[in-house]
Structure 1
Amino acid sequence: MDELPVLDQPARRSGALIDYLARHLSRRSESALAPLGLRTRHLVALTVLRARGDITQRDLASALVLDGTNVVGLLNELEGRGLVERRRSPEDRRRHVVSVTDDGVSLLCAAETALTAVEDEVFQTLTAEQRSQLHELLVAATSSASARYC
């Protein structure tokens, strides 16, 4: 990990440290995903599709907090690689239902393995207990933050 610059700020101010760590983790994650031909937005979409199963494009757009046009472009990329499948909804032929394919799940698993290695590298100085505590704190912090945007 790059050496952290000395930050002249009052004690207990974590924002700059979190931002620095997030940027470092993002750069390392992008490097790990690149050989798989994935970007973060692909990973998030595949993760949502695996968790939710068949979902309409509109519901996927809502879950990803993207407008419909951007979701169509994202799905075109994933469908072109055989990672997702779109089909007309049997209940409403005007809607498309999206699902992740077996190839999409396999690639998602490979990506998760690569990202686990990145996290192991970035957080190597933390004990397992500290990593677990960090995760719990981040979940709590993001839960309160995301509640304001939903």
Structure 2
Amino acid sequence: MTRTTGTEGRPLVPEELSDRVDCLLSKVAEAVRKDTDATFASLDIRGAHHSVLRMLGVCGPLAQKDLAARLRVDSSTIVDLVDQLEGRGLAERRRDLKDRRVYLVELTESGQRLLAAADERVGGLRRDVFAALSAAEYEQLRGLLDKLSTRWTTSA
């Protein structure tokens, strides 16, 4: 069986490693991240920015530490992402009136508009990236990944 990336005709994972689910998953995840970033490139954001915007759009204002915890990224990564979004006027930090030591991050109106534009592209991304799967296979994969992800669930 020959699996190719569609570029240069080379397999995403060499045949010698095709029995290694960890290698397959890692390479597919890397390819999906690149395709995601390419999908959002014309909006001048990456997939990581969309994740932050989406979390704020769904949850409303969040403390930076809570945003980092929900997205399961390092606090310095959140600071960098929020700095970038804030620099573009897409998000803003403000002091939490309940605890002045805490900064809340929230979407601006521009951030809400950009989130809506990015969300419109997600459907196309999903169709392109997972074109090899039927709708049932896509749902099965999503369910399996969701089940597997619980291995790393934390109480924090």
TM-score category by the smaller chain? 0.7 to 0.9
Residue aligning to 1:147: 153
Paired residue type of 1:16? C
Runs of at least 5 residues in structure 2 that lack an aligned partner in the other structure: none
Residue aligning to 2:138: 131
Residue aligning to 1:109: 116
Please tell me whether residue 30 in structure 1 is matched to residue 34 in structure 2.
no
Give the deviation of 1:82 after TM superposition: 1.9
Alpha-carbon spacing, 1:110–1:62, altered in 2? closer, same or farther (3 Å): same
Higher RCO, 1 or 2 (CA under 8 Å, sep at least 6)? 1
Matched residue pairs, number?
147
Instruction: Determine which of 89, 92, 95 is the counterpart of 2:96.
Output: 89
Q: After superposition, what is the alpha-carbon deviation per residue over 1:122-147, rounded to whole angstroms, capped at 9, x for unaligned? A: 22121111111111111111122x22
Name the % identity.
Answer: 31
CA distance in 1, matches of 2:129, 2:98: 47
Moved more, 134-143 or 1-10: 1-10
CA distance in 2, matches of 1:73, 1:6: 35
Alpha-carbon spacing, 1:100–1:131, altered in 2? closer, same or farther (3 Å): same
Runs of at least 5 residues in structure 1 that lack an aligned partner in the other structure: none
Q: After superposition, what is the alpha-carbon deviation per residue over 1:75-130, rounded to whole angstroms, capped at 9, x for unaligned? A: 22111222112211112222211112232222123223323212211221211111
Give the deviation of 1:26 after TM superposition: 1.7
Give the deviation of 1:9 after TM superposition: 5.0
Residue aligning to 2:15: 7
Residue aligning to 2:82: 75
Q: TM-score, normalised by structure 2?
A: 0.79
Q: Report the 3-state secondary structure (helix = DSSP H, G, I; strand = E; otherwise coil) of the residue aligned with 1:126.
A: coil
CA distance in 1, matches of 2:40, 2:155: 28
CA distance in 2, matches of 1:149, 1:41: 23
Moved more, 72-81 or 132-141: 72-81
